[in-house]
Structure 1
């Protein structure tokens, strides 16, 4: 609340504070604290930040957008609040997420604050508790689905393009699975769109896996991956890993998918379940007898990499971690669910049950762990590494579409920035304190790919893209007075 009030009162000082103390303040502006802020959003509401578009404004969305005081908008983060982190349907109170994400776009990626627009689409909520809460700020009705919902989003996307042009980036955030995949495939060919839960998470996790190869050995294609969770994050990460292996080995992606197995709430995803699976899970239904739970799946598949994206806490039990460690000298364990309470296991559990052999990273921050006299520093597989730099790369190149190759370029840039010193501490991500330099590097890589693919419109192409990215970044500087 104190930081929000500072942002209202003195924007430059807010960003100066955030940039200078990024490691300390990131968990407050973003996960895990932003989750609690969304849960209590109605009670702590002071002034509106961002734009609310509700069903009541259907047919007038363009007029509503024109009410926003800033004329040049480069990045929009939009949510409908149906699946906020691992917390579920928070309806209109999900606004904390677009606001927090865009604060990071500015602080970490250098996109001007005035060019950022947080939007919440209010179509109601199915959260009974909120509907009865006197401080709930949204429409007091059940969620609208089907045609009415689709028409409102169609109108919103059309209005965005009409008002801000072809090059405005629309980032979808925390939509429920059924809508997230639908919206991405529907608009990716006509708009500049990016889904952070599917694509951003995938890119940051791929970077961690590529970097971890230095510690666990072997090439990407030699490893076996097992996921717990087959929603947006799980299938998004799996697809990008399959794509990366395919690019490196020149093997079709249909083949490389076979190295990757997913477990959902009903057990291992196998061919015999194919008819009952949602469309986004179907590519992962491989030939195997049915397996009911994660522990049996671990024993059957013998993965070298275990990834949690289930949104359910404490699912990597002692038995699961011990099983993975029994057939891997250095198992790679990624517990990605947010906030901290939903993490599949803690850093301490991962290091203790693997007898200090695991390479571990999580979605939410954990403190260093001492085991057998050695201090382990857990890495954080935080989307904040990718999306601010990724968005900046799209903005500075004037890109008009997002291509999967750009996600791979962002991952490669991030993995390449992990130093020997970081590896020595067991880290597979560079420290967040260098995040603006990291973002400039990622932006340069993404922009270079946009120019190579012919989707960049800002011509001629700058000589040195890293320098150009740095020169475009907003900096809240203060003059030095003697």
Structure 2
């Protein structure tokens, strides 16, 4: 890292320590007179940050404040995020990032990440060369077409890669210099955005067809050339493009789709852990998925593999998984089906959502719809009628789009539901008992996958890595957490979880012949040495 002096040092977020520069450092780097007299340590600075943060009136104001901290003092931002992750992660990512993306052009302060537009066709490699870091290992890329449950937000979707990179650093200790957020700004079909004079994106209708795919191809190939050790994480693409791109590249480059595979792994982990509460065998479960998009399909695919690993035949495993959409149970009698859910279509008579629950009596109900309130009181009642401890997993976020709240699931099931969600919810009190709903956040999975890939330099990301990650995450839910009704560990343990997942990824990569790094026998110690600890 280039040694900076004076004001240039204070203006560099990676090297700036602000009031924490010592007297000797102030003399050495020409900072005398540029800082107040007092020398503060990072803990003292944190208290000032927290005081300012907690004084903000709204979550979006807190998001803006935290983003400005990241832009001026990187180490203080990440140290505070790590130390106060339960309080700050919902502000840096879900649910607040949804509002931040919606307002992205209006709250824009300083550019972060790399933007690629159709006008850059033929010179994407030169754009990557403009990036200031030369050893990029993690790339999070979106095209902004399906941001959370909010839809097409165009270039405003850059808030998602920025947020995910923050979680890679905080949750798995990937050094910020190894990370790059990317926006494939191929336009937007959101006319309201295009009419907004403050919108910062490519102000045209979305690129489609071969023109779209060729630009993505150019990006992927440019990454392979410029950053050969990089892992590409596809994020918040439409279902159609998500599956096409994953199928196109997953056997060529280090890549995965977090909406398909990360969501699947965190959900599978929650289902595994729920068995410790319901006292059922995983192989005996029946799963019902509301929604037929990329997240729901990814869950079904990984669940199918997990059932087969547990000893079920493929036919029996498929029969344990059912899809429901706005028209009811997805069955062969209906005229049209999305190609990616064809293997899971039930050969049964049509049925409404409630009728499907009555007929199939699922043990686990998973929502991945983006439709607020889709798990109605009648739905929860119906689940509780057939299961003593119905497992309800409402994945959609932000909070305004969740299928039901923790309190609704708890009260409508008379306190019997085992509940988890994609967005955080507070504890629920019923009589003398307090229920602690767990958040099924992908931050439990993708940072550990990235850390493992960095450690072993595997040439590809495989399904077995996500199965292993789910098993590790489920096993790390403590007996105390299970007793509280939680099916995921508490967030302060997320770095511990990421380290364990990284080790599991290394083992899988070795077994599959994909690891290119020479790994030591003590993987735990080795992985720990790779984890960035922000401090002065």
With the length of structure 2 as denominator, give the TM-score of the two structures: 0.87
Q: Over alpha carbons, which structure has the higher Rg? A: 2
2:339 maps to which residue?
Answer: 279
Deviation at 1:268, TM superposition (A): 1.1
* Equivalent residue runs for 1:350-429 within 5 Å: 350-429=409-488
- Distance in 2 (CA, whole Å) between partners of 1:184 and 1:466 is 30
Deviation at 1:276, TM superposition (A): 1.9
Q: Cα deviation per residue 1:214-254 (whole Å; 9 max; x = unaligned)?
A: 111221121111111111110101111110110110x3434
Aligned equivalent of 1:290, options 321, 341, 350: 350
* Equivalent residue runs for 1:23-38 within 5 Å: 23-38=86-101
- Distance in 1 (CA, whole Å) between partners of 2:281 and 2:172 is 31
- Distance in 2 (CA, whole Å) between partners of 1:252 and 1:106 is 40
Aligned-pair RMSD on alpha carbons? 0.9
Runs of 4+ in 1 over 2 A off after TM superposition: 251-255
Residues 254 and 162 of structure 1: CA distance in aligned 2, closer, same or farther (over 3 Å)? farther
Matched, 1:229 2:291: yes
- Distance in 2 (CA, whole Å) between partners of 1:343 and 1:67 is 40
- Distance in 1 (CA, whole Å) between partners of 2:303 and 2:144 is 28
Matched, 1:209 2:271: yes
1:41 maps to which residue?
Answer: 104
Matched, 1:138 2:201: yes
Deviation at 1:255, TM superposition (A): 3.3
Matched, 1:79 2:142: yes
2:192 maps to which residue?
Answer: 129
Q: Cα deviation per residue 1:18-38 (whole Å; 9 max; x = unaligned)?
A: 111011000011000011000
Q: Cα deviation per residue 1:45-70 (whole Å; 9 max; x = unaligned)?
A: 11110000000001111111111111
* Residue range with higher mean Cα deviation, 263-272 or 358-367: 263-272
- Distance in 2 (CA, whole Å) between partners of 1:339 and 1:234 is 17
1:259 maps to which residue?
Answer: 320
2:358 maps to which residue?
Answer: 299
Aligned equivalent of 1:13, options 66, 71, 76: 76
Q: How many equivalent residue pairs?
A: 473
Gaps of 5+ in 1: none
With the length of structure 1 as denominator, give the TM-score of the two structures: 0.97
2:535 maps to which residue?
Answer: 477
Gaps of 5+ in 2: 1-63
Deviation at 1:477, TM superposition (A): 2.0
- Distance in 2 (CA, whole Å) between partners of 1:356 and 1:255 is 32
Deviation at 1:172, TM superposition (A): 0.1
Matched, 1:269 2:327: no
- Distance in 1 (CA, whole Å) between partners of 2:506 and 2:368 is 29
Aligned equivalent of 1:220, options 276, 279, 282: 282
Matched, 1:320 2:382: no
Matched, 1:449 2:512: no
